[in-house]
Amino acid sequence: MSNLSNKKIILIVTAGIAAYKAAFLVRLLVKERVNVKVLMTENATEFITPLTLSTLSKNPVLIDFVKDKTGEWNNHVDLALWADLILVAPATADTIAKSANGICDNLVQAVYLSAKCPVVFAPAMDLDMYHHQSTKNNIESLKKYGNFIIPAGFGELASGLVGEGRMAEPEQIVAYIDDFFAEKQCLKGKTILITAGATQEPIDPVRYITNHSTGKMGYAFAEYAAHLGADVIMVSGKVNIEAIHPNILVYTTPTAQEMYEVCQANFEKADWIILAAAVADYKMKEVVNQKIKKKEGQTEMTLTLVENIDIAATLGKQKKDTQLFIGFALETNDELANAQKKIVKKKFDVILLNSLKTEGAGFATDTNEITMITSEGEINYFPLQNKKELAKNILIYLSEYKK
Ligand code: CTP
């Protein structure tokens, strides 16, 4: 991430328990070479000290209109004009309500009302407050006025309740605001459905059939697509990776059948579909419902497998001309010919051919190389590189290919 370098950001910290995360947020921003000025409401200083935030941001923290009763004032207009972006994190129900209604009873509100740059709110509050109709209306008003909202996440809340209301994690917030400074938001407005990782087909309650896919390539596509402005629906086998960007909605689907059902339910609304999952071609004819025991004297065992659903082929039959349908192929021989056959068989617009021949390419590595083949016969080679860079280059290429 480098779009944040040398940017000027005002971080407004308001009075919620998530204010403690402001320290992490400032550290991450400073690490990205952002010039951060922190503003706080008076009550926020009960949750985290200005000293912590001024030390981390290397700038004085501003709270009042008048500096320490010296008669010198903090000029809200100059402050607002200085910033490339204003981030309100955590944004309490109170600050959201005031901002939505033009109330100006402290420095924070005066700076907000004077802003000409994008303003991003990261709400944090208790579950019931977040779901209250008045809060919902206020958030809608903020959006209507051109502000941006990083939705609160789901999790344990300070009240002991579990639900929506947790402030997005600092890493997610940084990834989100990084997008404002990305040169291109070429996937803005697009919904992209991505499958990733290996499926697990149960044999009995403790065993399953799977493969070596780690999901790294699919998740790299998801992160970068979200970074370029897309809303991403990630349908993932069980993986050890977490999606960071808040515009990625993750469904975990261990089996091919579950993966298919979520894909099918979201297929209509997807503009692009990227099928990066390594789906088991066969599953148990019947899953054994008790652990299979080792039998004395038995030296061989046969499992009867049946064909699994082919997600790509099933969705390919429903594909509309407006959709871009992208598949992967992993081949060990006759690579190009086999990949081309899959384009026809599964009705892909584009196939991304992985090779296992090159060292550093394929499963479980951080790098990969791809040969891209389109249904029109165009062939493009993306040399061995970091999977994230590769995802970026392919997505930017495809955004030109299918506008
Ligand atoms: N795919 C899928 N559902 C399956 C099998 C594969 O959606 N049951 C998708 C993969 O995600 C990939 C593409 O189809 O985008 C090709 O996958 P691959 O495993 O290479 O092809 P197969 O059809 O399984 O053919 P083979 O195993 O014979 O190479």
Instruction: Residue 28: give its domain's CATH number.
Output: 3.40.50.1950
Alpha carbon of 363 to ligand 1 centroid (Å)? 15
Q: What tokens does 69 get?
A: 């009763």
φ, ψ dihedrals at 223, nearest 5°? -60, -45
User: CA–CA separation, 32 vs 254, rounded Å?
Assistant: 36
**Rounded to the nearest whole angstrom, what is the distance from the C-alpha of residue 275 to the centroid of ligand 1?**
9
User: For residue 389, what pLDDT is reported?
Assistant: 85
Q: Helix (H, G, I), strand (E, B), or coil: what is residue 1?
A: coil
pLDDT tens figures, 243-277: 988 789 999 999 999 999 999 999 999 999 999 99
Tokens of 125: 């509050």
Please report the pLDDT score of residue 143 as a whole number.
Answer: 85
pLDDT digits (tens, 9 = 90+) for 48-102: 999 999 999 999 999 988 877 677 788 888 889 899 999 999 999 999 999 999 9
Q: 223 and 365, same structural domain?
A: yes
| Among 318, 328, 335, 343, residue to substitute to test ligand 1 (most atoms within 8 Å of Cβ) | 328
- pLDDT number for residue 210: 97
Ligand 1 pocket residue status of 198, Cβ below 6 Å: no
Which region, left, alpha or beta, applies to residue 316 given φ > 0 means left and ψ of -120 to 50 means alpha?
alpha
Q: State whether 207 and 171 are in the same domain.
A: no
Q: Is 346 within a domain? A: yes
Residue 1 lies in a domain: no
Say how many Å lie between the CA of residue 329 and the centre of ligand 1. 7
Where a domain ends, among 165, 182, 199? 182
- Residue 233 CA to ligand 1 centre (angstroms): 20
Residue 219 shares a structural domain with residue 79: no
Q: Which of 182, 213, 232 is the last residue of a domain?
A: 182
Residue 294 forms part of a structural domain = no
Distance 186 CA to ligand 1 centre (A): 28
The verdict on 69 and 15 lying in the same domain is yes
pLDDT at residue 327 in the model: 97
* Alpha carbons 388 and 89: distance in angstroms, whole number: 28
Spatial separation of the C-alpha atoms in residues 369 and 381, rounded to whole Å: 8
- Which residue type is seen at 239? V
Determine the pLDDT at residue 390: 92
The answer to whether position 373 is within a domain reads yes
Q: Among 182, 211, 244, identify where a domain stops.
A: 182
Can you tell me which atom of ligand 1 is nearest the CA of 256?
Answer: 8
Is the per-residue pLDDT at 1 higher than 60?
no
Q: Are residues 152 and 235 in the same domain?
A: no
Calpha distance 310→317 (Å, rounded): 11
DSSP structural state of residue 311: H
Structural domain range at position 25: 8-182
Dump the DSSP string for 16-55: SGGGGHHHHHHHHHHHTT-EEEEEE-GGGGGTS-HHHHHH
Taking the C-alpha atoms of residue 259 and residue 310, their distance in angstroms, rounded to an integer, is: 10
DSSP 384-400: EEEHHHHHHHHHHHHHH
CB of 256 shorter than 6 A to ligand 1: yes
Q: In total, how many domains does the chain have?
A: 2
* pLDDT value of position 180: 77
CB 351: neighbour CB atoms within 10 A? 25
211 is annotated as an active-site residue: yes
Decide: residue 206, CB within 10 A, 0-12 exposed, 13-18 middle, 19+ buried. exposed
pLDDT above 60 for 170: yes
Q: Where do we find the tokens 């021949």? A: 357
The CATH number of residue 258's host domain is: 3.40.50.10300
| Phi/psi at 289 (5° precision) | -90, 0
**Are residues 159 and 61 part of one domain?**
yes
- The answer to whether residues 16 and 65 belong to one domain is yes
Bigger pLDDT: 72 or 318? Answer: 318
Contact between 259 and 195 (Cβ < 8 Å) = yes
Q: Which of 211, 338, 380, 393 is catalytic?
A: 211
Span from the CA of 311 to the centroid of ligand 1 (angstroms):
8
**Ligand 1 atom at minimum distance from 308 CA:** 8
* pTM of the model as a whole: 0.70
Judgement on whether residues 348 and 263 belong to the same structural domain of the protein:
yes
For ligand 1, atom 1, name the residue with the nearest CA: 312
On whether both 126 and 12 belong to a single domain, the answer is: yes
The rounded distance, in Å, linking the Cα atoms of 270 and 387 is 23
pLDDT at 388: 85
Higher pLDDT, 230 or 180: 230
The stretches of 32-126 forming alpha helices (DSSP H) are: 50-57, 76-82, 93-100, 107-114
Predicted pLDDT at 247 = 84
C-alpha dist (Å) from residue 196 to 208, 220, 377: 18, 10, 26
Phi, psi of 51 (to 5 degrees): -60, -45
Q: Which atom of ligand 1 is nearest to the CA of 278?
A: 11
- Does any domain span residue 318? yes
For residue 142, give the H/E element and its range.
Answer: helix 133-144
The average pLDDT across 288-306 equals: 94
Phi first, then psi: what are they for 36, rounded to 5°? -105, 130
DSSP code of residue 261: H
Work out the average pLDDT over 223-250: 91
Query: Is the same domain home to 125 and 254?
Result: no
Same domain, yes or no: 232 and 121: no
Question: Are 303 and 207 spatial neighbours (Cβ–Cβ below 8 Å)?
Answer: no
Range from 26-35, 118-127, 293-302, 351-360 carrying the lowest mean pLDDT: 351-360
Any atom of ligand 1 within 6 Å of the Cβ of 275: yes
pLDDT at residue number 183: 59
Atom of ligand 1 nearest to the CA of 310: 8
Average pLDDT over residues 214-225: 94
Instruction: State in Å: Cα 278 to ligand 1 middle.
Output: 7
pLDDT at residue 147 in the model: 85
DSSP class of residue 179?
A: G
- What is the model's pLDDT at position 3? 86
pLDDT interval class at 229 (50, 70, 90): confident
Q: Is the pLDDT reported for residue 107 higher than 60?
A: yes
The arithmetic mean of pLDDT across residues 232-240, rounded, is: 96
| Contact call for residues 87 and 177 (beta carbons, < 8 A) | yes
Do 145 and 203 belong together in one domain?
no
Q: Is residue 3 part of a domain?
A: no
In a domain, 371, yes or no: yes
Decide whether any atom of ligand 1 lies within 6 Å of the 279 Cβ.
yes
Token readout for 369 is: 């190389």
Q: Mutate which of 193, 272, 281, 335 to test ligand 1's pocket (most atoms within 8 Å of Cβ)?
A: 281
Q: Which residue's CA is the nearest one to ligand 1's atom 17?
A: 329
Residue nearest atom 27 in ligand 1 by C-alpha distance: 281
What is the chain's mean pLDDT, rounded? Answer: 92
283 in contact with ligand 1, CB cutoff 6 A: no
